[in-house]
Amino acid sequence: MLSKEEIFQNLAEVKEKIAAAAKRAGRNPEDVKLVAVSKTYPVEAIEYAMEEGTVIFGENKVQELTGKIDYFEAKNCQNEWHLIGHLQTNKCKYIVGRTALIHSVDSFKLAEAIDKEAAKKDVICDILIELNIGDEDSKFGCRPEDCEALVRDISILKNVRVKGLMCVAPFVENPEENRMFFRQMKNLTVDIANKNIDNVSMCEISMGMTGDYEVAIEEGATIVRVGTGIFGKRNYMI
Ligand SMILES: *Cc1c(COP(=O)(O)O)cnc(C)c1O
């Protein structure tokens, strides 16, 4: 695990780069939220980031997420948790009401399961629709051409709110290769927003990771998800 000083330095660097990318695109840096992706890292690393002032953390596995939420709730910490990884319908009950945003909804069936849990707990659950933007077989996500229909179907559910779109862009050496995908994401949010579907907003675009978040911001990302750029190399053996 990185030291506190290293995590502080990485965060300062990432935040500087976020601000610079926003400015290059004529955007307000405050319109870009940083999700610190803490999957596989110990709670101490998260505590260092919190000390630095980071408030939003993203996890991709339900069990790890709820474990960390339990830990920080017991300490009365006010941070915000996002689920950024695939969610199985039978696991919604563990996270609905405990996460500020679920980034990875890619089917009506899953949205319905979230809605049912949210209704039971009398909460509204904010979600993003995950797109498979590079059309990769290995990835979850709805195809871009199916997105509007899915959003329309989900919009009738009373206890979920669509806030925008999310994608995990292809892994590339040169982030410029993903620019067209990020642009396609932005265009899709504009197209869907123009349909004025009840209960649906397209305010958030969650795209860009350590390797490509600056390009994503230039193309309109409002949420970037950065893990290794903050916490260092991941050890999947944990
Ligand atoms: C792991 C993960 C990230 C962060 O990836 P880094 O390359 O470490 O920044 C972002 N989004 C999702 C969905 C992830 O699973």
Q: What is the pLDDT of residues 145-181, one digit of tens each?
A: 999 999 999 999 999 999 999 999 999 999 999 999 9
pTM of the predicted model, to two decimals? 0.97
Pocket test for ligand 1, best of 60, 62, 106 (most atoms within 8 A of CB): 60
Least trusted range by pLDDT, from 90-99, 129-138, 222-231: 129-138
Q: Are 61 and 79 in contact (CB under 8 A)?
A: no
- pLDDT at site 235: 80
Paired tokens of 1? 């695990």
Per-residue pLDDT band at 136 (split at 50, 70, 90): confident
194 burial level (CB within 10 Å; 0-12, 13-18, 19+): exposed
Separation of 112 CA from ligand 1 center, angstroms? 26
- pLDDT at site 237: 58
Mean pLDDT along residues 72-92: 96
Nearest CA, atom 6, ligand 1 = 227
